[in-house]
Amino acid sequence: MWWFYRKGPSGFSGASTAEEVTAGVDGQALVAVVTGASSGIGLETARVLALRGVHVVMPVRNVAAGLAVRESIVAKVPGARIDVLEMDLSSMASVRRFASEFESLNLPLNILINNAGVMTRNCTCSCDGLELHFATNHIGHFLLTNLLLENMKRTCRDSGTEGRIVNVTSSGHVMTYPEGICFDKIHDPSGLNDFIAYGQSKLANILHVYELSRIFKEEGVNISASAVHPGVIATNLFRGRSIAAAFLNSIGRIMCRSVEQGAATTCYVAMHPQVQGTSGKYFADCNVASPSLQASDPELAKKLWQFSLKTVSP
């Protein structure tokens, strides 16, 4: 596994940890929203951001679990500033409620980390009638981003500090239909298998970033949008999948990186000065990388953007 330790232009590698890539970075003046922060790399991301002084807001589906995580972080990082609010990404109504509650906190917003994700056994529908992977992994984050954008724009204007949006995704080479995203299956998931559905949702995360970045550049907004691949990590994303769990508990332990390493690229892109002014890029191992051709398709990105806007319209 020599490649895992090989450093790229950033000076970091796949073996770097979130604490290592943020060493010396001062986040005292920053506020971040981190989805999926109640476990796995989301929890580690929230902990490290809090360690660097960032005020972290955790939208979680299970508030009791979120409060327990908050206490565990505060125990390790005395003085950590963490708020826990309820949000279910698979429900557009819940996302809207969270955005309203966040605004009532009267906080600025510098960093948005769209980290949460689900992988289910079956292609079921969300409460809004969308295929569940797509509803949770993409549409929920798309709506959340749109609802928080005005705050981010205002914050970067008032502070002069670049806003950063980070979508945690996959390699962009995951299994999808040949055309990338099968839009007619999003409201009717019959015919999809769970791996294709998951792959479509993660491809959408990358395309979302590319179109966001194009729009920011067009508008002259000082906000960057980036996609990051955390690597293969043994997290509870694979809970309920006996074959995957068995692999991760045996050979996978040799090949997988730790949660501390998995959160590194997210924290690097969210906070490191090296990334300033870099937008519309895909990162892996704390360095700029190349996703699949589908994930780099500007026309598919625009098509997805228009479809998503229509989907989240009240």
Question: What are 165's strand-pairing partners?
Answer: 112, 225
Residue 198 annotated among the catalytic residues of the structure: yes
Closest CA to 203 of 286, 113, 107, 134: 134
Q: Please tell me the distance from the alpha carbon of residue 191 to that of residue 214, in angstroms, as a whole number.
A: 33
The catalytic position among 198, 210, 268, 282 is 198
Q: Please tell me the distance from the alpha carbon of residue 81 to that of residue 71, in angstroms, as a whole number.
A: 11
* Continuous segment of H or E residues that includes residue 199: helix 194-219
Closest CA to 9 of 232, 270, 289: 289
Q: Please tell me the distance from the alpha carbon of residue 235 to that of residue 254, in angstroms, as a whole number.
A: 14
Closest CA to 194 of 123, 124, 90: 123
Across 145-167, b (16+ Cβ under 10 Å) vs e yields: bebbbebbbebbeeeebbbbbbb
Name residues whose C-beta falls within 8 Å of residue 249's C-beta, 6 or more positions apart in sequence: 234
Q: Residue 185 is which amino acid?
A: K
Closest CA to 34 of 97, 109, 91, 90: 109
- Torsion (CA) 298, 152, 148, 280 in degrees, nearest 10: 20
Residues carrying an active site annotation:
198
